[in-house]
Amino acid sequence: MKPVLIIRTGRAPQPIRARHGDFPHWFRLGAGLSPARLRVVDVEAGETLPPPGDVAGALITGSAAMVTERSAWSERTAGWIRDAMDAELPLFGVCYGHQLMAHALGGRVDYLPGGREIGTVTIQLLDAAKDDPLVHPLPTTFKAHATHEQSVLELPRGAATLASSSRDPHHLVRYAANAMSTQFHPEFNADVMRAYIRRKHHDMRREGFDPHHTFRQVAPTPLARRLFRQFSRHHGLAAG
């Protein structure tokens, strides 16, 4: 059986890792992946991705890096994404992974106007979601965790936005039957979200946001996680 790939594009900050784990652990739990079938490739550290045909699917993590930096490892991964799309490999990108997929396929990524988006946000489904096999069962609005400074500002040709927030118009994007991405973090739980807010509270104050209010608004996000799990199940990546 082919492995399921987690493409690691970065690490959570060390204090968060020490207490809550890191992206591969959160992705495994959130997407319901079998540890025995899992392969993690740390592209930020220079590890080489296998040919798309050698894996069953790939999930792309978040990162503290910026897509606009055009780092060599990031651009190599963008090329791999294009090859994987040609091979119709199941792909799911999150945060940096979401932005990198859009960039790789011809979209435009840059800083989100108005500053960072952080906290538990309300996600609104759009008309394009009505016919999407994974997204249409969700309610019109649901909660999700987010923390990002950059965003997808222009979609690649042929992509469709399925959901947005009040700050970011492209929170959930469908590229093809096998490929989608989220700006929000379906793998985060409430404790992880609170940990990010604690870490970013000085930046939030400097940018005119109230970290205490944002902290108090953190809530569970089971529907965002369910979407992640459903993608994994739909494409035969989940355990069991």
- Supply the residues annotated as catalytic: 95, 185, 187
Dihedral, CA of residue 38, residue 43, residue 48 and residue 53, to nearest 10: 50
* Run of H or E residues at 98: helix 96-104
**Three-state SS at 196:** helix
Q: Is the dihedral of CA 46, 38, 89, 102 positive or negative?
A: negative
Distances 172 to 21, 97, 150, 198, 209 between C-alpha atoms, Å: 25, 12, 15, 26, 24
Q: Are 52 and 83 in contact (CB under 8 A)?
A: yes
* Run of H or E residues at 192: helix 190-206
Task: Please name which of 179, 159, 161, 152 lies closest in space to residue 58, comparing C-alpha atoms.
Answer: 179
